[in-house]
Amino acid sequence: MNLPLKTRMALWWNRTRKKSNRTIGLALRKERYPLSNLLVLLPKNPEHSRMARIFIQTLQNAIGPEGRIQVRYIAMRRNLEHVDSSINDRLITYSKEHVNRWGLLHKSFLEIIFTSQPEAVIDLNFDFDPISATIVQKSNAPMRIGFYTEESEKYYNILIERKGSEYLEIGFRNIQQLLGLT
């Protein structure tokens, strides 16, 4: 991973300042909709957009027409052509103007993202992304799901292995099971 030194330093600084003494317990519930507020971070890499689109479709199918779960999506503005237009009303986009000199999102933009507290944050980036890691860290969500990289161990409490396309499909199914949607 080739992150600029200033971005690595900013990530390290934010991680060491935000130590929390509280432990968060995770549990599976028998309720039909155990979660009511999800935040999904769409992949930065346009090549991974097809898999993300399939995940979004199955997520919407699992939620059903009742819409008891509020799902918001975050994507880079330059990737809008790869995003399914059916989620535009719940899509938050960012661009270079929302990124500070350290390569992380401005605090004011993070406040826009967290107008409501998510119960789960799902990062669909297969590789480590510092902006997504910052969003996950600031969310304080009890369930933070992402794909495994060495760096992501510090930010996510549930990691999905990523060894080829068949593993990604299994990983997406596992995410739905964790959310109680299957």
For residue 3, what pLDDT is reported?
76
C-alpha 128/C-alpha 130 separation (Å) is 7
Winning range, highest mean pLDDT, from 124-128, 160-164, 165-169: 124-128
C-beta separation of 159 from 148 below 8 A = yes
For residue 14, what pLDDT is reported?
73
Detail the DSSP E strand segments found in the chain: 37-41, 70-76, 91-94, 120-123, 143-147, 158-160
Could you tell me the end-to-end alpha-carbon distance of the chain, in angstroms, rounded to an integer? 34
On the CB side of 51, how many CA atoms lie within 13 Å of its CA? 21
Higher pLDDT, 151 or 163: 151
For residue 94, what pLDDT is reported?
93
Q: pLDDT for 5-61, tens place per residue?
A: 777 777 777 766 555 444 445 454 555 456 788 999 998 888 888 888 888 888 888
Q: pLDDT for 92-110, tens place per residue?
A: 999 999 999 988 899 999 9
Q: pLDDT for 117-143, tens place per residue?
A: 999 999 998 888 999 999 998 998 999
For residue 5, what pLDDT is reported?
78
Q: What is the CA radius of gyration of the chain?
A: 16
Range 151-165 average pLDDT: 83
